[in-house]
């Protein structure tokens, strides 16, 4: 008989955002007239940019004609999109990344979850605490765990790096040197962004200790301050220690279309000297048939002049919300972080409430849905995450309701 490994079974019963969706749906069933404002999962609300819609229509038409029809996509991505990503997101910023080091996928969430497949089973991973749950859960599901401590609900091969007010939500180097470190900047959930010196220090640490950094840059479009790197490849030496995962969801609104990319430099090797580039290419070839042609054309349109301007305007609207939410909450006396280089606002629950207590209060008394900080890890306890991905009107109504609590 085949059973899931026992470590898998020690994970929470469902994925954080599925738990929140269930709780929210149960509430709506019991209170059908409630006008909920959803500021929980980081899902966008503005429609796709017109340049993207135009490209989708054109690609759909091509699929309907014998001369322009496309079957299986190349498993590593179409050349036109690999080139657009390498050129615009990397070479335009002075990062030395070749078109063939860009692997196109159906999204950053899948890549974040799947990338662990190219590492050895006994590898130790380090993650920030709080953390985007996919990094930990996917490694535990793969059995990369060591021993389990029921009291702390932690595995010995998963090293946590607390990110608290005391360290400005920026992780310190872990006491035990891991094989792989996951970093996300601007960070989900805290909204904190690493500056160039901080990220360079991580690259130096990784190169000195033979560590691979998996850098999640899903929120780079929200960077508003200078000296915050948009890519880890802006740091010297990153080609020998870093993988970067990028998303089209948060910048261009592709949460429902699905498109992402992972960048692996050819020099990057594991402890055995194997090129991680080749392992990821092998993995893609075996388990993946490529993102749909029409979606890759839509992705290409994000880099057109029209597309770039439209994406910029879209991000600016969400950041207006972020500023408004941050200022409103601060004005109400909340301790508020994030929201400057990030669409996420990270706030302290009032009066010592736990994250889940505050979730219930907001849901029941203000009909606002957010995300409990403790769902991202123990250091997130007593914190709460709100997103600025809603409409301006809903952000305003949500703040009015919270002010009345």
Write out the residues near ligand MLT by the rule CB under 6 A: 41-42, 109, 132, 188
In the complex, least distance from residue 141 CB atom to ligand MLT, rounded to whole angstroms: 16
Minimum gap (Å) between residue 132 Cβ and ligand MLT: 6
Q: Which CB sits closer to ligand MLT, 124 or 136?
A: 136
Q: Of the two residues 41 and 261, which places its CB atom closer to ligand MLT in the complex?
A: 41
Q: Which is nearer to ligand MLT, 138 or 367 (CB)?
A: 138
CB of 266 to ligand MLT, least distance (A): 28
User: How near is the Cβ of 339 to ligand MLT at its closest, in Å?
Assistant: 15
Check if the beta carbon of residue 110 is closer than 8 Å to that of residue 287.
Answer: no
Hey, what are 17's tokens?
A: 């955002």
User: Is 259:296 a contact under the CB 8 Å cutoff?
Assistant: yes
Angle at 40 between CA 35 and CA 42, to 5 degrees: 125
**Cβ-based nearer residue to ligand MLT, 41 or 315:** 41
- 157 vs 374 by CB, closer to ligand MLT: 374
* Minimal distance, residue 249 CB to ligand MLT, in Å: 6
Among residues 239 and 326, whose Cβ is nearest to ligand MLT? 326
Closer residue to ligand MLT (CB): 109 or 154 = 109
Closest residue to ligand MLT, judged by C-beta, is: 42
Q: How far is the CB of 14 from ligand MLT (least distance, A)?
A: 14
Min CB(253)–ligand MLT separation in Å: 12
Contact yes or no for 236/203 (Cβ under 8 A): yes
């Amino acid at each position: 008989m085949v059973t899931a490994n026992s470590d898998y079974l020690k994970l929470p019963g469902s994925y954080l955002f599925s738990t929140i969706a269930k709780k929210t749906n149960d509430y709506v069933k019991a209170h059908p007239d409630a006008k909920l404002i959803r500021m929980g999962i980081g899902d966008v609300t503005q429609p796709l940019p017109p340049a993207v819609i135009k490209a989708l229509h054109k690609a759909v038409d091509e699929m309907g004609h014998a001369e322009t029809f496309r079957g299986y996509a190349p498993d590593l991505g179409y050349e036109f999109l690999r080139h657009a990503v390498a050129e615009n997101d990397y070479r335009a910023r002075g990062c030395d990344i070749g078109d063939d080091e860009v692997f196109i996928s159906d999204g950053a969430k899948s890549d974040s979850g799947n990338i662990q497949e190219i590492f050895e089973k006994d590898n130790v991973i380090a993650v920030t605490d709080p953390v985007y749950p996919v990094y930990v859960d996917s490694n535990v599901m793969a059995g990369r765990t060591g021993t389990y401590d029921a009291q702390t609900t932690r595995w010995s091969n998963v090293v946590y790096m607390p990110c608290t007010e005391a360290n400005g939500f920026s992780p310190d180097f872990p006491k035990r040197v891991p094989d792989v470190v996951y970093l996300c900047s601007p960070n989900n959930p805290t909204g904190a962004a690493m500056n160039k010196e901080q990220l360079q220090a991580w690259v130096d640490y990784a190169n000195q200790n033979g560590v691979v950094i998996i850098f999640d840059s899903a929120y780079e479009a929200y960077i508003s301050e200078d000296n915050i790197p948009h890519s880890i490849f802006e740091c010297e030496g990153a080609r020998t220690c870093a993988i970067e995962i990028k998303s089209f969801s948060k910048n261009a609104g592709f949460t429902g279309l699905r498109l992402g990319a992972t960048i692996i430099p050819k020099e990057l090797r594991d402890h055995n000297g194997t090129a991680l580039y080749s392992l990821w290419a092998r993995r893609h070839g075996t388990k993946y048939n490529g993102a749909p042609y029409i979606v890759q054309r839509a992705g290409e349109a994000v880099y057109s002049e029209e597309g770039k301007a439209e994406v910029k305007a879209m991000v600016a609207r969400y950041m207006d919300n972020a500023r408004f939410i941050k200022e409103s909450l601060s004005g109400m006396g909340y301790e508020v972080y994030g929201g400057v280089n990030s669409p996420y606002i990270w706030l302290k629950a009032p009066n010592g409430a736990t994250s889940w207590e505050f979730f219930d209060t907001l849901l029941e008394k203000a009909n606002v849905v957010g995300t409990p900080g403790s769902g991202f890890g123990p250091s997130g306890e007593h914190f709460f995450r709100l997103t600025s991905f809603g409409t301006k009107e809903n952000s305003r109504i949500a703040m009015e309701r919270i002010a009345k609590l």
